[in-house]
Amino acid sequence: VTFPESADFYEAQDQFVQQVDKTNTQIKVSSSLNPAQFGDTVALTADVDILPPGAGISGTSLDELITGTVTFFIDGNPQAPVSVNAAGVASISRGNLSVSGHLVRASYSGDVHFNSANTAIDLTQQVNRATTNTVVTGAPDPTNVGQNVTFTVTVSAVNPSAGTPIGTVVFLDGATAFGSRSLVNGAATFDISTLPPGAHTINVNYLGSTNYDVSSGSTSHTVKGN
């Protein structure tokens, strides 16, 4: 700053250094689907916000000035960095999360204007077992006493992206179990020729597995007397 010389005063000068520091930020993580089921695709989003006083310019949005990247960590494992967009947001999608509660956090790299930041509150992304559907049929129907009948069961995931269920199915005549089979490509069969005469309700219980939830199905079958 310079004060010019005049008739009454000598010229004077002074100067100072104005320090401008980077603005602090905070980062929040959210999920598009929580809880999710095995096989679901989940979008994880990180929103980088500017903290006061850097955000205190009336009528001005500073989000558009944010650059840099966000790194997501799932159960401590870093994912590939993602650039933030003009709104200060970065997202990733994951469709291969195992059945569990997954700890998700994010780290913003910072840039020339804004300081880096880590999530203050981590997200727990819950992934539950996939819902299944069990269907059972019997043939031939009806049968005579001593005649063989084949019961066929198919277990499928309600969400096709979850793949093909594995595990064991139990066959019951009413409430009495008469056999079990392991699924092969989501299906199993059971042959029986010892059902007594009468009307039968054949129930099949799928016992579930690590990634697939339990389910049940039933069919009716008639055995004719001699």
pLDDT tens digit sequence for 127-183: 999 999 999 999 999 999 999 999 999 999 999 999 999 999 999 999 999 999 999
For the chain, how big is the Rg over CA atoms in Å? 33
Cross-strand bridge partners of residue 94: 42
The SS3 call for residue 162 is helix
Per-residue pLDDT reduced to its tens digit, 173-211: 999 999 999 999 999 999 999 999 999 999 999 999 999
Is-contact 117 26, C-beta < 8 A? Answer: yes
Is-contact 72 44, C-beta < 8 A? Answer: yes
Cα 8 to Cα 4, 5, 11, distances in angstroms: 11, 8, 10
Q: What is the pTM of this model?
A: 0.82
What pLDDT does residue 45 have? 97
